[in-house]
Amino acid sequence: MSDLLPRTPRSDAQDNRRRILEAARAVFADDGLKVPMREIARRAGVGPATLYRHFPTKEALALEAFRDQFHACHALVEEALADPDPWRGFRLLFERICELHARDRGFTAAFLSAYPVAVDFAAEREFALASVAELTLRAKRTGRLRDDFAVDDLILMLTAHSGIEAKSTAVRLKASRRFAALAIRAFEADPDPSP
């Protein structure tokens, strides 16, 4: 009978899995997807056997790290839509997406390039675009977002944001915050003089 019940992983196994995913996200962001699995295990503080027990292939590990990134983006969009002040929700969404991209350092692009059919990215992209379009419409109604703003403008700014290069995460995040502040001023109908 006990074989039929779902088993909850032990707390140490859950901790190992969490550490492996944290290490993988950091390594993939810093060094790309070509980093050896042994290096990820070393940085996570686990043995290779433990890593392979949780993630039998690098694709499985990268997919799980990517799903976390996916869920983070999804949560940011939902949080922005739920904000009772659409302009604040719009600003916070842009700031947080920029921060996520600054920490990501191209992991998402590398993942989609290496494993193009691993996830249904089209469905998620449609959700994001429809949600941002709805948020944009609401923010325009407040009079704070420029009337001529289009979702393509946001995509253009995020593409420009991906060009931020810095050796350290701290410097990259500082530049990202400055970029986001300047972009938000450009989006605003009547911008505040100090970003």
What residue ranges define each of the domains in the chain, with the CATH number in brackets? 10-56 (1.10.10.60), 64-195 (1.10.357.10)
Report yes or no: 45 and 15 within 8 Å, Cβ to Cβ.
no
pLDDT value at residue 162: 84
pLDDT value at residue 30: 76
| Three-class SS state of 45 | coil
- CA distance to 5, 92, 100, 167, per residue, from 82 (Å): 38, 12, 20, 35
Tally of CB atoms within 10 A around 192: 9
Nearest alpha-carbon partner for 169 in 107, 73, 104, 98: 104
Q: What is the pTM of this model?
A: 0.76
Q: Please give the average pLDDT of every successive group of 10 residues along the chain, which has 195 residues.
A: 58 88 85 89 95 93 84 90 97 93 74 70 82 95 95 90 83 93 93 60
Instruction: Kindly state the DSSP code that residue 117 receives in the 8-state scheme.
Output: T
pLDDT value at residue 9: 60
